[in-house]
Structures are given as C-alpha cells and as structure tokens.
Amino acid sequence: MHFFDRNCSPKALNLLNVFLGRLDEKRTVSTDINHRVSKTIVNIPYDILALEDLTSIRVQSQKRKA
C-alpha cells in the first residue's frame, strides 16, 4: 500500500480501500461457507467418502444468433 500512498490522490486511495474491504468481506464469507460445507460432509455417518475431480466438466455455452 505504500506505493499507492505516495502516488494516488486521496479520493483514489479511498476508493481503493473500499474495494479491498469488499474483497476481504467476500473472501471471509466464502471461507465460512466452505468450512460449514466441509464440516457437514465430514459428519455424515458413512465409513467411505468418495471424491471426484470436477474441474474439467464445465461446458461452454454457445451464443445463439438472433
């Protein structure tokens, strides 16, 4: 942040701080949701837990011509 302190106007610096604050709030919320989901999965009363790699299943939608 020291770079921005010296080279930005006070208004731009304020906008940057607001943006970073919102980004941190989103990160906190998503971390909390991931933690709750993982706790729920772990507490399921089964002995075996199967995980699957879902990174390559995204299908790109094609734009239709109007």
What does the block give as tokens for 57? 């299943």
> Looking at the predicted structure, is the pLDDT value of residue 62 above 80?
no
Cβ(4)–Cβ(16) under 8 Å?
yes
Q: pTM score, two decimals?
A: 0.46
Q: What is the DSSP string of 28-42?
A: HHHHHHHHHHHHHHH
Rg of the chain, C-alpha, whole Å: 21
> Looking at the predicted structure, is the pLDDT value of residue 24 above 60?
yes
16 Cβ neighbours under 8 A, 6+ residues apart: 4, 8
> Looking at the predicted structure, is the pLDDT value of residue 29 above 80?
yes
> Looking at the predicted structure, is the pLDDT value of residue 64 above 80?
no
What does the block give as tokens for 50? 């199967």
